[in-house]
Structure 1
């Protein structure tokens, strides 16, 4: 969020990770087009009859699909109308193996608890028998591999019985970069609130044509965020692998700043106090749609 980076001296590992995300994650992103909608292969329901759960040892050895992970086996796209598809947030009963389209060999795992030590929140896009297609906070590839086209949102298949339904997602966020606004929009399409916002500057633009969700909230005293929590999304930069030298891929946050107008940020979205309080009142899992 700030134009300069700071060094932290925080003993707890979870808090150190939290603040690392808070600093680098609100620094940069680049415009990119939306990936083509994912079209699953036919006859997926056949996997329900042949599924054999991997052992706990196998699951523990899988790469964790968290904010700083790059996992090629994940699916690089999502349903075309995520706000309508995503009607509830869910948490995970136990570490859950994630699968690609074949649903045979796990490629990653979702940890039951996130980097803050809190329940991991996921957002299913749809269900297919015993399976759920969920968005993840990881990347599928790096911008250095596919400049301007690295996936800003990934998805994977998880067993439905490992999920626990949580809060209803009655509203979603629409960030309009050109108009420099953030809107809270009801499922009906009605705009409940619209707020002016600060967005990415020319060399560090906020991405457009992407959809993610609010994965976590926290306060970061290192960035003077002591009253209004940062709403951290699952969206990443496609401008560079690590735009500001951290290890989070330039996650995009929605947060309070005293200057919250114009093209002024490193990719994150800045709001004034009333606006961020309204956004922070929405449940974790709230879908975030960024348009031009």
Structure 2
């Protein structure tokens, strides 16, 4: 696992179709004779009975539109400057750890529409942090894992706690849909630690980019569950990468409070000469072709690591 950077500081609209009732009008037939005032009355012809065939299916009844699913809208204004920033260095105890780490995201990512978006641990309360629109170490484009009419739940960088003090797992939070800009993300990365495979899965199918790699040892395992690509960069000072990019993830070590003198322990994909089996501090070590391919993916791309 490489040292993390050490300075500085991310609701598919649920519409329920309304059934439109169809009103079937059945007209009866009646007959009548019109007589002039000076004309002698004549006998009316016998009426011809009209046969009405009942419909085979009942007439649909209009259904009222249901109430929108999810939490109510919140249009309040908040002082974002008074809130802690969500970034790779942040430790925010009030933000929840991902409750459903094995599920796939929705295929959307969001970024703050303004300078920042308030982050809520619970949409019925007040915000507890702010997601900046820009940050030097990334993490501002975040995947949506649940979308409602007025809210989205997203994955975030940072931690709820360090491993020595609590649960360091992947953070989540709620953002108001009015505060973010949506974009589609058409790929995700799937890593199987047991099968030693890595695939990029998209609309056109699955592309296998690795059939072996280096991963964490027992004391410093590679974290499992869903996360996302936080940032991608080349660090010339990391000689073991041979100049290839490091693809940093949003999730950090489950056992290390910090690494290499920094107070963060970020998981990353990166190149290494030794890259087979349990060998690392939690990072995933790859060959040049695989790391180059991963470096082409956009920020916010979901990553799912399974045991």
TM-score by length of 2: 0.72
Deviation at 1:107, TM superposition (A): 0.5
Q: What is the alpha-carbon distance in structure 1 between the residues aligned to residue 175 and residue 223 of structure 2?
A: 27
2:188 counterpart (172, 184, 192): 172
Question: Is contact 1:78–1:154 with CA below 8 Å preserved after alignment?
Answer: no
Question: Is contact 1:90–1:164 with CA below 8 Å preserved after alignment?
Answer: yes
1:65 counterpart (66, 74, 86): 86
1:281 counterpart (282, 296, 305): 296
Unaligned runs of 5+ in 2: 10-68
Question: Is contact 1:96–1:110 with CA below 8 Å preserved after alignment?
Answer: yes
Question: Is contact 2:228–2:249 with CA below 8 Å preserved after alignment?
Answer: yes
Q: Quick check: 1:17 aligned with 2:7?
A: yes
Unaligned runs of 5+ in 1: 6-14, 22-42
Q: What is the alpha-carbon distance in structure 1 between the residues aligned to residue 97 and residue 243 of structure 2?
A: 35
- The corresponding residue for 1:45 is 71
Q: Relative to structure 1, is the Cα distance of residues 187 and 79 closer, same or farther in structure 2, using a 3 angstrom cutoff?
A: farther
> Once superposed, what is the RMSD of the aligned Cα atoms?
2.7
Question: Is contact 2:102–2:304 with CA below 8 Å preserved after alignment?
Answer: no
- The corresponding residue for 1:156 is 173
Deviation at 1:281, TM superposition (A): 1.7
Higher helix share: 1
Q: Quick check: 1:106 aligned with 2:127?
A: yes
- The corresponding residue for 2:219 is 203
- Counterpart of 2:90 in 1: which secondary structure? coil
Q: Relative to structure 1, is the Cα distance of residues 82 and 284 closer, same or farther in structure 2, using a 3 angstrom cutoff?
A: farther
Deviation at 1:174, TM superposition (A): 1.6
Q: Relative to structure 1, is the Cα distance of residues 158 and 112 closer, same or farther in structure 2, using a 3 angstrom cutoff?
A: same
1:117-132 equivalences in 2 (<5 Å) = 120-132=140-152
Aligned residues: 246
Q: Quick check: 1:75 aligned with 2:96?
A: yes
TM-score by length of 1: 0.75
Q: For the pair shown, which has the larger CA radius of gyration, 1 or 2?
A: 2
Per-residue CA deviations over 1:97-137 (Å, capped at 9, x if unaligned) read 10112443111111111233x68211111222221111110
- Counterpart of 1:211 in 2: which secondary structure? strand
Question: Is contact 2:168–2:253 with CA below 8 Å preserved after alignment?
Answer: no
Deviation at 1:159, TM superposition (A): 1.4
- Counterpart of 1:246 in 2: which secondary structure? coil
